[in-house]
Structure 1
Amino acid sequence: MTAMPDVISEFETLESQDKPWRLIVWNDPVNLMSYVAYVFRSYFGVSPEKAEKLMLQVHHDGFCTVRSGSREAIESDVQAMHGFGLNATMTQGA
Protein backbone atom coordinates (compact mmCIF):
# COMPACT_ATOMS: atom_id res chain seq x y z
CA MET A 1 0.00 0.00 0.00
CA THR A 2 2.94 2.38 0.26
CA ALA A 3 3.06 2.71 -3.56
CA MET A 4 -0.40 4.24 -3.75
CA PRO A 5 0.59 7.78 -2.66
CA ASP A 6 3.43 7.73 -5.22
CA VAL A 7 1.02 6.73 -8.00
CA ILE A 8 -1.38 9.53 -7.05
CA SER A 9 1.49 11.99 -6.80
CA GLU A 10 2.79 11.01 -10.25
CA PHE A 11 -0.72 11.27 -11.73
CA GLU A 12 -1.22 14.75 -10.26
CA THR A 13 2.16 15.83 -11.65
CA LEU A 14 1.30 14.56 -15.13
CA GLU A 15 -2.14 16.14 -14.96
CA SER A 16 -0.71 19.54 -13.99
CA GLN A 17 1.76 19.38 -16.89
CA ASP A 18 -1.18 19.09 -19.31
CA LYS A 19 -2.78 22.32 -18.14
CA PRO A 20 -2.04 25.26 -20.45
CA TRP A 21 -0.21 28.34 -19.29
CA ARG A 22 -2.09 31.65 -19.36
CA LEU A 23 -0.80 35.13 -20.15
CA ILE A 24 -2.42 37.66 -17.83
CA VAL A 25 -2.18 41.37 -18.56
CA TRP A 26 -2.89 43.62 -15.57
CA ASN A 27 -4.39 47.08 -15.46
CA ASP A 28 -2.04 49.91 -14.57
CA PRO A 29 -2.39 53.66 -14.05
CA VAL A 30 0.27 54.48 -16.66
CA ASN A 31 -0.70 53.14 -20.08
CA LEU A 32 -3.55 54.61 -22.09
CA MET A 33 -6.36 52.26 -23.05
CA SER A 34 -5.74 53.01 -26.72
CA TYR A 35 -2.09 51.98 -26.31
CA VAL A 36 -3.04 48.67 -24.68
CA ALA A 37 -5.43 47.95 -27.56
CA TYR A 38 -2.64 48.88 -30.01
CA VAL A 39 -0.26 46.42 -28.34
CA PHE A 40 -2.84 43.63 -28.56
CA ARG A 41 -3.45 44.38 -32.25
CA SER A 42 0.19 44.71 -33.21
CA TYR A 43 1.72 41.89 -31.16
CA PHE A 44 -1.04 39.29 -31.24
CA GLY A 45 -2.52 40.27 -34.61
CA VAL A 46 -6.08 40.35 -33.30
CA SER A 47 -8.82 42.42 -34.90
CA PRO A 48 -9.49 45.93 -33.61
CA GLU A 49 -12.74 44.66 -32.10
CA LYS A 50 -11.01 41.83 -30.24
CA ALA A 51 -8.23 44.15 -29.05
CA GLU A 52 -10.84 46.61 -27.76
CA LYS A 53 -12.71 43.83 -25.96
CA LEU A 54 -9.53 42.54 -24.27
CA MET A 55 -8.43 46.06 -23.33
CA LEU A 56 -11.81 46.84 -21.78
CA GLN A 57 -11.67 43.64 -19.76
CA VAL A 58 -8.24 44.67 -18.44
CA HIS A 59 -9.60 48.13 -17.65
CA HIS A 60 -12.84 47.05 -15.96
CA ASP A 61 -11.78 43.80 -14.26
CA GLY A 62 -8.19 44.78 -13.48
CA PHE A 63 -6.73 41.94 -15.55
CA CYS A 64 -7.42 39.72 -18.52
CA THR A 65 -6.22 36.37 -19.80
CA VAL A 66 -5.05 37.37 -23.24
CA ARG A 67 -3.70 34.06 -24.47
CA SER A 68 -2.97 30.52 -23.36
CA GLY A 69 -0.45 27.99 -24.60
CA SER A 70 2.81 26.27 -23.85
CA ARG A 71 5.03 27.52 -21.07
CA GLU A 72 7.72 28.64 -23.53
CA ALA A 73 5.27 30.59 -25.70
CA ILE A 74 3.67 32.34 -22.74
CA GLU A 75 7.06 33.17 -21.20
CA SER A 76 7.96 34.84 -24.50
CA ASP A 77 4.66 36.74 -24.50
CA VAL A 78 5.23 37.97 -20.93
CA GLN A 79 8.65 39.31 -21.93
CA ALA A 80 7.14 40.99 -24.98
CA MET A 81 4.43 42.65 -22.89
CA HIS A 82 7.11 43.91 -20.49
CA GLY A 83 8.96 45.28 -23.54
CA PHE A 84 5.84 47.25 -24.43
CA GLY A 85 5.65 48.54 -20.84
CA LEU A 86 2.63 46.47 -19.85
CA ASN A 87 2.34 44.58 -16.56
CA ALA A 88 1.97 40.89 -17.41
CA THR A 89 2.38 37.60 -15.60
CA MET A 90 1.75 33.95 -16.32
CA THR A 91 -0.02 31.19 -14.46
CA GLN A 92 -0.86 27.60 -15.14
CA GLY A 93 -4.39 26.30 -15.10
CA ALA A 94 -7.87 26.74 -16.42
Structure 2
Amino acid sequence: MSTVEKIQEELDLLMQEDNKYEIILYNDDINTFDFVIDSLISVCDHTLEQAEQCTILVHYKGKCTVKTGEYKELKSKCSKLLDLGLSAEIV
Protein backbone atom coordinates (compact mmCIF):
# COMPACT_ATOMS: atom_id res chain seq x y z
CA MET A 1 0.00 0.00 0.00
CA SER A 2 1.39 3.37 -0.98
CA THR A 3 1.73 6.34 1.35
CA VAL A 4 -1.10 8.13 -0.48
CA GLU A 5 -3.39 5.13 -0.02
CA LYS A 6 -2.54 4.94 3.68
CA ILE A 7 -3.26 8.63 4.15
CA GLN A 8 -6.57 8.30 2.26
CA GLU A 9 -7.53 5.31 4.42
CA GLU A 10 -6.77 7.27 7.59
CA LEU A 11 -8.78 10.26 6.32
CA ASP A 12 -11.72 8.00 5.48
CA LEU A 13 -11.61 6.56 8.99
CA LEU A 14 -11.51 10.02 10.58
CA MET A 15 -14.46 11.17 8.48
CA GLN A 16 -16.46 8.14 9.55
CA GLU A 17 -15.69 8.91 13.20
CA ASP A 18 -16.85 12.52 12.76
CA ASN A 19 -20.23 11.38 11.46
CA LYS A 20 -21.00 8.80 14.09
CA TYR A 21 -23.38 10.97 16.13
CA GLU A 22 -27.17 10.84 15.88
CA ILE A 23 -30.09 12.87 17.15
CA ILE A 24 -32.63 10.51 18.65
CA LEU A 25 -36.19 11.83 18.93
CA TYR A 26 -38.39 10.23 21.61
CA ASN A 27 -42.14 9.79 21.79
CA ASP A 28 -44.23 11.96 24.10
CA ASP A 29 -47.91 12.40 24.84
CA ILE A 30 -47.84 16.18 24.42
CA ASN A 31 -46.94 17.13 20.85
CA THR A 32 -49.17 16.49 17.85
CA PHE A 33 -48.08 14.65 14.72
CA ASP A 34 -48.34 17.87 12.70
CA PHE A 35 -46.19 19.80 15.17
CA VAL A 36 -43.47 17.12 15.17
CA ILE A 37 -43.54 16.92 11.36
CA ASP A 38 -43.26 20.70 11.02
CA SER A 39 -40.41 20.75 13.58
CA LEU A 40 -38.42 18.08 11.73
CA ILE A 41 -38.86 19.92 8.45
CA SER A 42 -37.71 23.25 9.86
CA VAL A 43 -34.94 22.07 12.21
CA CYS A 44 -33.56 18.93 10.53
CA ASP A 45 -34.23 19.91 6.91
CA HIS A 46 -36.41 16.85 6.35
CA THR A 47 -38.71 16.50 3.38
CA LEU A 48 -42.38 16.09 4.23
CA GLU A 49 -42.10 12.33 3.60
CA GLN A 50 -39.02 11.95 5.81
CA ALA A 51 -40.66 13.90 8.63
CA GLU A 52 -43.86 11.85 8.38
CA GLN A 53 -41.95 8.55 8.42
CA CYS A 54 -39.86 9.59 11.42
CA THR A 55 -42.94 10.77 13.30
CA ILE A 56 -44.71 7.45 12.69
CA LEU A 57 -41.63 5.52 13.85
CA VAL A 58 -41.37 7.65 16.99
CA HIS A 59 -45.05 7.04 17.72
CA TYR A 60 -44.94 3.27 17.29
CA LYS A 61 -41.36 2.41 18.29
CA GLY A 62 -40.86 5.09 20.96
CA LYS A 63 -37.84 6.67 19.28
CA CYS A 64 -36.18 7.32 15.93
CA THR A 65 -32.89 8.64 14.61
CA VAL A 66 -33.82 11.91 12.90
CA LYS A 67 -30.37 13.25 11.95
CA THR A 68 -26.80 11.97 11.75
CA GLY A 69 -23.58 13.90 11.40
CA GLU A 70 -20.85 15.72 13.25
CA TYR A 71 -21.48 16.58 16.89
CA LYS A 72 -21.01 20.32 16.38
CA GLU A 73 -23.65 20.35 13.61
CA LEU A 74 -26.11 18.28 15.60
CA LYS A 75 -25.76 20.17 18.88
CA SER A 76 -27.62 23.28 17.68
CA LYS A 77 -30.29 21.21 15.92
CA CYS A 78 -30.91 19.12 19.03
CA SER A 79 -31.12 22.29 21.14
CA LYS A 80 -33.73 23.71 18.77
CA LEU A 81 -35.81 20.52 19.03
CA LEU A 82 -35.59 20.71 22.82
CA ASP A 83 -36.56 24.40 22.77
CA LEU A 84 -39.66 23.42 20.79
CA GLY A 85 -40.65 21.05 23.60
CA LEU A 86 -39.62 17.82 21.91
CA SER A 87 -37.67 15.09 23.67
CA ALA A 88 -34.35 14.46 21.93
CA GLU A 89 -30.71 13.68 22.63
CA ILE A 90 -27.43 13.23 20.79
CA VAL A 91 -25.86 9.77 21.00
The 2-side partners of 1:22 and 1:53 are apart by 17
Counterpart check, 1:62 vs 2:91:
no
Given the two structures, how large is their TM-score scaled by the length of structure 2?
0.76
1:56 Cα deviation from its structure 2 partner: 0.4
Q: Which residue of 2 aligns with 1:4?
A: none
Q: Which residue of 1 aligns with 2:44?
A: 44
Aligned length: 77
Q: Which runs of 5+ in 2 are unaligned?
A: 1-12
Who wins on radius of gyration, i.e. which is larger? 1
**Structure 1 SS opposite 2:29:** coil
**Structure 2 SS opposite 1:22:** strand
The 2-side partners of 1:87 and 1:37 are apart by 14
Q: Which residue of 2 aligns with 1:81?
A: 81
Aligned-residue CA RMSD (Å): 1.9
Runs of 4+ in 1 over 4 A off after TM superposition: none
Given the two structures, how large is their TM-score scaled by the length of structure 1?
0.73
Deviations 1:10-59 (A, max 9, x none): xxxx98x8161100010001101111011111222322111110110111
**Structure 2 SS opposite 1:64:** strand
**Structure 2 SS opposite 1:42:** helix
The 1-side partners of 2:79 and 2:45 are apart by 17
**Structure 2 SS opposite 1:43:** helix
